[in-house]
């Protein structure tokens, strides 16, 4: 009887969670599609199907970031629905404690978190890279249709045997090895300005950047166009990846390799280590969200005050999200160990839900 009831509660939670994820995913797709259409409205020969495909490839990684919040909303919706239909009242009358009908949801959350780390994350990272390629193809239809990744793009300062140069790019793909909408300011050994280079794209090769469709501007001479132009550099792929790539774009199974490469190159791998341990901790983070949701949604409807409990639960989840972001920034600044930074929000969320539930159940 208990196992049957446990399977029922677990299935109800899974069904509610899938519905929440589907709704959030569809909403993100719609918003991102509208934004992509707005950004590419002035680019000729861009079909709505291509924009939709690009948006669809971008959304999985966006949805991955809000997965814990979706679990929180799904768990609260599940338990509020059970309480409204008095199923929790019947379960308690049959001698089932809150811990027993929370346990199936915890197991489901752990399984979903493991699958999200081992399977969903690599797929989302690959699709995100494909979306960058599609964006590059769309922007390639017009010379000045660069996609601004940030307000000022990506900046890299590099040296060569002839001097040094400062490279700016609007987009970055394949962890920084391929750049789009590139501007390079080249100086000689004495620090005197020598030339400015504008290129459609750049690919890092051994000892140089290979610039495509480059236009070179030198003082006192007319601009010259080159289908291909090599810009010397002392940068290695490992250094570029550390500078331009974001750990979120690296699949889970490749993170140990990136950490090892950064260590061999003498670079800091804090961002990669933090992302790696956050993904390992993800199943337990989702379980902590279930505990937090249960602590604020097991109140019976006849007792009243349900709306306040729901708002308190959502507010607690939001505060935990903000706290995790602050801890991530502190760890990225190398002021906190990445392992501690990855597991601290899990412990705070889990202990908060556990203590509140313990107080409610056992006084």
What 3-state DSSP class applies to 187?
strand
For 251: left if phi > 0, alpha if psi spans -120 to 50, otherwise beta; the answer is beta
Sites in the chain below the pLDDT cut of 70: 1-2, 43, 89, 95, 136-137, 139-153, 174-175, 238-239, 241-245, 262, 264-268, 299-306, 361-363
Cβ–Cβ < 8 Å for 338, 328: no
Residue 260's alpha-carbon distances to 53, 236, 268, 339, in angstroms, are: 34, 15, 10, 16
For the chain, how many residues are written?
A: 363
Residue 195 contacts residue 217 (beta carbons within 8 Å): yes
> What is the per-residue pLDDT across 261-315, written as a single tens digit (0 to 9) for each?
767 655 667 888 888 999 999 999 999 999 998 888 776 555 556 677 778 878 8
- pLDDT in the model for residue 152: 52
Q: Is the distance from CB of 361 to CB of 99 less than 8 angstroms?
A: yes
Smallest CA-to-CA distance from 230 within 246, 249, 251, 208 is with 208
Structure tokens at 277: 């341990």
pLDDT at 42: 72
How high is the pLDDT of residue 67? Answer: 92
Tell me, what's the pLDDT at 142?
A: 36
The closest alpha carbon to 249, from 70, 122, 93, belongs to: 122
Distance between CA atoms of 32 and 263, rounded to whole angstroms?
A: 37
pLDDT at 238: 64
**Hey, is 240 helix, strand or coil?**
helix
Query: Where do the domains of the chain lie?
Result: 154-245
Contact 40, 146 (CB under 8 A): no
For 13-37, give the DSSP string. Answer: HHHHHHHHHHHHHHHHHHHHHHHHH
Global pTM reads 0.74
Q: Name the one residue in this structure whose structure tokens are 């993170």.
A: 255
Average pLDDT, the chain: 81
Pairing of strands 154-160, 163-173: antiparallel
Sort strands 193-205 and 178-188 into parallel, antiparallel or unpaired: antiparallel
The reported pLDDT for the residue numbered 141 is 40
């Amino acid at each position: 009887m208990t196992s049957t009831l446990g399977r029922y509660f677990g299935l109800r939670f899974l069904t509610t969670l899938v519905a929440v994820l589907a709704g959030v995913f569809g909403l993100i797709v719609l918003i991102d599609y509208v934004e992509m259409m707005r950004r590419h409205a002035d680019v000729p020969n861009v079909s709505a199907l291509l924009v939709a495909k690009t948006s669809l490839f971008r959304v999985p990684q966006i949805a991955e970031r809000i997965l814990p919040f979706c679990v929180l909303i799904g768990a609260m919706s599940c338990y509020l629905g059970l309480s409204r239909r008095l199923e929790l009242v019947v379960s308690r009358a049959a001698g089932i404690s809150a811990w027993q009908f929370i346990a199936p949801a915890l197991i489901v959350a752990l399984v979903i978190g493991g699958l999200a780390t081992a399977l969903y994350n690599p797929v989302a990272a690959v699709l995100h890279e494909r979306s960058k390629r599609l964006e590059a193809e769309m922007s390639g239809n017009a010379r000045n249709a660069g996609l601004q990744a940030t307000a000022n793009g990506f900046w890299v300062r590099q040296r060569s045997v002839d001097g040094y140069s400062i490279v700016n790019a609007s987009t970055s793909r394949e962890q920084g090895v391929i750049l789009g909408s590139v501007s390079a300011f080249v100086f000689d050994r004495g620090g005197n300005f020598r030339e400015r280079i504008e290129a459609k794209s750049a690919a890092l090769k051994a000892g140089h950047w290979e610039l495509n469709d480059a236009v070179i501007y030198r003082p006192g001479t007319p601009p010259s166009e080159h289908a291909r132009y090599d810009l010397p550099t002392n940068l290695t792929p490992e250094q570029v990846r550390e500078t331009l790539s974001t750990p979120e774009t690296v699949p889970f199974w490749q993170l140990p390799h990136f950490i090892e490469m950064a260590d061999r190159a003498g670079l800091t791998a804090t961002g990669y280590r933090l992302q790696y341990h956050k993904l390992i901790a993800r199943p337990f983070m989702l379980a902590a969200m279930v505990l937090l949701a249960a602590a604020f949604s097991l109140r019976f409807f006849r007792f009243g005050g349900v709306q306040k409990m729901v708002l308190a639960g959502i507010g607690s989840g939001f505060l935990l999200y903000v706290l995790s972001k602050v801890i991530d920034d502190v760890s990225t600044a190398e002021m906190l160990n990445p392992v501690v930074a990855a597991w601290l929000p899990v412990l705070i969320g889990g202990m908060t839900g556990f203590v509140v539930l313990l107080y409610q159940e056992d006084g």
